[in-house]
A = this chain, B = another copy of it.
Amino acid sequence: MARRAELIAIGRKLFADTSYDALSMDDIARQAHVAKGLIYYYFQSKRGYYLAIIQDSVADLVTYAASGLELEPVGRVHRTIDSYLRYAEHNQAAYRTIVSGGVGFDAEVHAIRDGVREAIVATIAEGAYGRSDIAQVPRMGLLAWVCSVEGAALDWIDRPRLSRETMRELLVKTLGGSMRAIEEMDPAYPAPAPARRDDG
């Protein structure tokens, strides 16, 4: 009998490139080789199953983005952005759902998205300023940059005209630009040295 984690792993594969509406519970049960009742037992509804899958998927993204503490800051930023873009590329339907705010006006998916945004803002703040509890201006500056990555990645998976490497370089550089903008607004939040170089 499949355990909950196994059903989530199967669901992640099924929903990775298929939208919520396009899969029925019958499809899911058939493709997962389990009785439909088992999915209802663990997740109550298709929606409950889907939210569990998205939460699990997003947890990977956040964990990975927040890891790499052993790397120097530039390497860490590169890795975080690269893993974010890979996630978008390899989980297109889930990524679209999260960033577009889910199925309908979806408060739960909005909350998941806001959690991802705040986790990434906190990760960058830790790396750049040594703490995640920051003032409103740097928070807004970093949040804006995270939103730029969301929008850019969404456009990119729909129309992949640039390589992932080019996307990553561009977003690393715009992060540097955002950090310099934050420093100009509030010198208590100086941009880290690599972001200050013109070739950064």
Q: Report if A82 contacts B (CB, 8 A).
A: no
Interface of A is mostly: helix
Q: Report if A146 contacts B (CB, 8 A).
A: yes
In the complex, what residues of B have CB within 8 A of residue A34's CB? none
In the complex, what residues of B have CB within 8 A of residue A149's CB? 144
CA gap between A84 and B19 in the complex, in Å: 32
Q: Report if A181 contacts B (CB, 8 A).
A: yes
Stretch touching chain B among A23-31, A71-79, A165-173: A165-173
Q: Report if A5 contacts B (CB, 8 A).
A: no
| 3-53 of chain A: CB within 8 A of chain B | 19, 21
| Interface band, chain A | 35 or more
Q: Report if A162 contacts B (CB, 8 A).
A: yes
B169 touches A198 (CB 8 A): no
18 new A-B contacts, CB < 8 A, other than A144-B171, A148-B151, A176-B181, are: A19-B105, A21-B105, A137-B162, A140-B156, A144-B148, A144-B151, A145-B148, A147-B148, A147-B150, A147-B152, A148-B178, A150-B151, A151-B151, A170-B182, A177-B177, A177-B180, A180-B198, A184-B198
| Chain A residues with a Cβ under 8 A of chain B | 19, 21, 100-101, 103-105, 110, 117, 136-137, 140-141, 143-152, 155-156, 161-162, 166-167, 169-171, 173-174, 176-178, 180-182, 184-185, 198-199
